[in-house]
Amino acid sequence: MSLKVLIVDDDKNICELLRLYLEKDGYETAVALNGRTALEQFEAFAPDCILLDVMLPYYSGTQVCQTIRETADTPIIMITARSETDDVVDGLNAGADDYVTKPFEPKEVLARIKAVTRRFQKDEAGQSDRALRFDRLLVDIDRYELTVDDHTVNLPAKEMELLYYLASNPNRVFTRDQLLDAVWGFDYIGDSRTVDVHIKRLREKIEGVSDQWGLRTVWRVGYKFEVVTAHA
């Protein structure tokens, strides 16, 4: 689950810059170029964090901030053109959680976002192993480790991720494109036969270990991780 960030700035270039950086870091983003759109997007997109320029058409950043604060406590980071104490105090009084001043370092913005959204991430972080078990197989994505009968098998990252994804949805067939989307990333550009090769290498390593499960080819469709349901 990735966090959603709403970017509000009337400068398209800045929006684009932020968008690229944030998406590279795994955030979902939406952009608004003025105060009115910002409020609409806030409703529609339901962001977990808002980057909010102070100088905006229609409604100022401070106004937007106040309006949002009437109904929600979504973290808001103000972007101010200069570090005048007045602007900053106004913003913080309006309910902003933090601010950055232009020109800013994208990295710095990322750090601030991490800081203010820390409380959300706590929910998902720091828990025990996310591992899948099937008969004699253990797929542990936290350790990036595959275990067959207490014997660890070293698996390259992609193979690990592919196996984990397939095994997360046993018996469900995925097309190569679906697998590329999920494991390689939606923006992956390349040959779908790549999947075949990874499947092949996986098979070499975990083939014949158990008859309870296996990687199965579904002709003209794709692949699935098949699990035999034990019956009487």
Which residues sit at the interface with DNA, rule CB under 7 A?
A: 154, 156-159, 184, 188, 190-191, 193-194, 196-200, 203, 217-222
Residue 54 three-state SS: coil
Residue 194 contacts which entry, a second copy, DNA, none (Cβ below 5-8 A, type-dependent) = DNA
Rounded-to-integer distance, Cα 193 and Cα 222, Å: 11
- Say which residue the tokens 């679906």 belong to: 178
Nearest distance in Å: CB 118, DNA: 14
- Own/partner long-range contacts of 161-166 (Cβ < 8 Å, ≥24 apart): 162/195, 162/198, 162/199, 162/202, 163/139, 163/202, 163/206, 163/225, 164/132, 164/139, 166/215, 166/223, 166/224, 166/225
156 binds a second copy (CB under 8 A): yes
Which of 1, 119, 123, 157 is the binder for a second copy (CB under 8 A)?
Answer: 157
Rounded-to-integer distance, Cα 215 and Cα 196, Å: 11
1 binds a second copy (CB under 8 A): no
Which of 2, 24, 81, 207 is the binder for a second copy (CB under 8 A)?
Answer: 24
C-alpha count within 13 angstroms, C-beta hemisphere, residue 153: 21
**134 strand-pairing partners:** 137
Which of 44, 57, 81, 188 is the binder for a second copy (CB under 8 A)?
Answer: 188
135 binds a second copy (CB under 8 A): no
107 binds a second copy (CB under 8 A): yes
159 binds a second copy (CB under 8 A): no
Percentages helix, strand, coil for the chain (3-state, rounded to 5) are 40, 25, 35
Residue 203 contacts which entry, a second copy, DNA, none (Cβ below 5-8 A, type-dependent) = DNA
Nearest distance in Å: CB 168, a second copy: 11
Decide: 98 and 77 in contact? Cβ < 8 Å. Answer: yes
143 CB-contact burial (10 Å; exposed 0-12 / middle 13-18 / buried 19+): middle
Residues 25-44 touching a second copy, rule: CB under 8 A, are none
Residues that bind a second copy (CB under 8 A): 13-14, 16-17, 20-21, 24, 83, 85-86, 88-89, 92-93, 97, 103, 105, 107-108, 111-112, 114-115, 118, 129, 142-145, 150, 156-158, 171-173, 181, 186-190, 218-221, 224, 229, 231
